[in-house]
Each structure stands twice: as C-alpha cells, then as structure tokens.
Amino acid sequence: MNFAPSSEKPDNSRPAIEFDQLVRTFGKTTAVNRVSFKVFPGEVFGFIGPNGAGKTTSMKILSTLDTPDSGSAKVDGFCSVNDPERVRRRLGYMPDGFGAYANVTCEEYLDFFARSYGLRGKDRIHSLRNVMGFTQLDQIAQKPITGLSKGMKQRLCLGRALIHNPKVLVLDEPAAGLDPRARIELREMITALADDGKSLLISSHILTELAEMCDRVAIIEQGGLLAVGSVEDILSGDHQRSSEDTTGGQVVTESGQLVVQILGDAGAARSWIENELSLTVRITGNSLQFPFSGSAEDQAALLRKMVDSGIAVVSFSNKQRSLEDAFLHVTRGRVQ
C-alpha cells in the first residue's frame, strides 16, 4: 500500500521512534519525567495514561511541535530538535482535533497539504488518489469539510497525516467520539498501515480498542513511565519497568480467575463451590466467577466434580485478562 513514490528503503535494524530520558516541565509541573521507550518498524504501539499524564506533550515533542528540557525524541534516527525537517518528512501527526476551513472541499484540503510537503506533478496526483482511496474520501471529494461527520473528519485528518507517505504515524486519540462502525473501520485502516511497514504511536482512553490493535503498550502516569510491554507481559510482571513502577513485577491476581456458566440455580452452585473450595464466589446472572490457582489438571478435576454433583455446566474457562487489568495494576490514580 504505497501512498507515494519513495526512493528510501526501509531500515528495520533501528527503532522508528525512540524516546530517551525525555523531560519537559511547565513551571513547577513536570509533565514528562525521564520517559524512555522504542517503537520498531511495522509496530502498533499504544501510549496510555489518564488525562494530564504527559502523553500529548511527549507526542508534540516527537512531532517537532514542542521542545524538551532534556533528553531526546527521535524518528528514524533523527532528533526532533536537531533535525526537525528530516523528522517532519518521515512523520505524520494526527492531533485530537483540527480546525475546519470554510468553502474548502476534502480534495482541496488534502491537495493543499500535498503541495505544502513539496509534492509536485505526478507524485502529488498519485498521493492524492491513493490517500483518498484508502480513507474512502474519494466518495465525498467535493464535499465541504465543514459539513463532514465526526468519522469523516477523522478520516480527513488521517489522510492529511498520510499525504507525504511518512514512515511513522502519531495518532492522538484517533477514536474519540466515533461511533462503533467508524471505530471498526479506523482499526482496520491502522492494521493495514502497520502491515505496510509503518510504525504507529497511538494514544487513547478507549483501552479495549488499543488492546485489539497494539503489539505493545507504554503506561504513563503523572509524567512518569510505569511499564512497557505487551498486555500479557505487563499482567505477568515480565515487562520493562522504570523507577516509577511500584508493582515490583507482581502478577495480576485476576489472572487466576475461573468463570463458569451454568444452567439452573446459580445460588446452589455457588454454595457447592464455596463449601468445596472454601472461597468466595461472585454471581452475575448464571455466571459464577471465583479465584482458582490450580493447574490445568486441577481445573479438569474440578469440572468433573461439578458435573458429577449435578451442576449443569455450560462453559468453564479462565477469565480473559485485559488491557484494563494491566492499566489498573500499574497505575495509582495520581493526577498532576
């Protein structure tokens, strides 16, 4: 999915994005405190944290829109402070909101930015056609952007970030305010871009969306990076930790939960489990959830005993661990 001709060959041997001990203060507030992590070519990387945690500030520094007090942010090996022009040619930035222009159509808007990036002649036409086709804006090319829905505006903003065929995309809250269909379509586009070899750094408060898209995540709170890794690594304690991480590599206790769906009297089934295992069972409808740290063989033995005792088991499984579990595990609810 090549949006514009490029003479550069991808280099997968070095990070596409690199933060190294990044620090940014505003008066007495440290918005970003020694943040360090890397994102590699073709990777979808989630950047999560509460409001005011430092996500947008870090992204703006990477995108050459702000400067750090110390440390560095690099794109494809080039520093955002020392080589801003090289960074801008390699990076597409999608902010969480952008201004609309009266009497400007979708095609005119993207054409303006294509020209701003120095695309001329066939290269400009090629880029416009490919980006508008990919984002499905070709169907509304002549529509004024002031009349677009939220979903179409997000597509237009993504198209603007893609118009110069960057290696790296920085997306700040791209799914905010979108309806379910628009979110699904956005997720499909992000997956397609990663498959094309682009690196994506995405911030979002919609953790379920990130869990389905991201290869790895970084969790930040009060300016400090708490954890970097896959959801599974963070939940198991096998993740990159910083001095701000207070979890000590502990495993999330929720990982030892069983969920049993039954037919019939859930109260009677709960009583049987509590008497048999001496633990507390939570009921939701006909679903029973309770902690269980036994092996696979122990689970099989428990299931057999439940069936033999007359409990009609419909399903029996481990509770699926989520990005929300990881987020709640490493954060402490601190705000600046």
pLDDT at 329: 66
Q: CA dist 16 to 46, 104, 201, 315, Å? A: 14, 34, 10, 44
**What is the spatial distance between Cα 109 and Cα 129, in angstroms, rounded to a whole number?**
13
Which segments in the chain show pLDDT lower than 50? 4-7, 243-255
| Contact in structure between 210 and 199 (CB atoms under 8 Å) | no
What does the pLDDT look like over 135-146, one tens digit per residue? 999 999 999 999
pLDDT at 320: 62
pLDDT at 232: 73
What does the pLDDT look like over 18-73, one tens digit per residue? 999 999 999 999 999 999 999 999 999 999 888 888 999 999 999 999 999 999 99
- The neighbouring-strand residues paired with 18 are 38, 74
pLDDT at 243: 42
pLDDT at 189: 94
Give the H/E segment covering residue 288.
strand 287-291
| Contact in structure between 141 and 132 (CB atoms under 8 Å) | yes
Grouping H, G, I as helix, E, B as strand and the rest as coil, residue 232 is helix
Q: What are the domain boundaries of the chain?
A: 17-241, 253-320
Task: Render 151-210 in DSSP notation, one character per residue.
Answer: HHHHHHHHHHHHTT--SEEEEESTTTT--HHHHHHHHHHHHHHHHTT-EEEEE-S-HHHH
CATH class of 253-320: alpha beta
Amino acid at residue number 215: D
pLDDT at 254: 42
pLDDT at 6: 45
**What is the spatial distance between Cα 52 and Cα 45, in angstroms, rounded to a whole number?**
19
Angle at 262 between CA 257 and CA 264, to 5 degrees: 140
**What is the spatial distance between Cα 311 and Cα 264, in angstroms, rounded to a whole number?**
8
Angle at 225 between CA 222 and CA 229, to 5 degrees: 140
What does the pLDDT look like over 221-250, one tens digit per residue? 999 999 898 877 776 665 555 544 444 443
pLDDT at 176: 82
- The neighbouring-strand residues paired with 291 are 257
pLDDT at 193: 95
Alpha helices in 253-330 (DSSP H): 266-277, 296-308, 323-330
The gap from C-alpha 194 to its chain's centroid, in whole angstroms, comes to 13
Architecture of the domain defined by 17-241: 3-Layer(aba) Sandwich (3.40)
**What is the spatial distance between Cα 218 and Cα 327, in angstroms, rounded to a whole number?**
10
pLDDT at 52: 86
Name, in order, each residue with C-beta under 8 angstroms of 8's C-beta and a sequence gap of 6 or more.
none
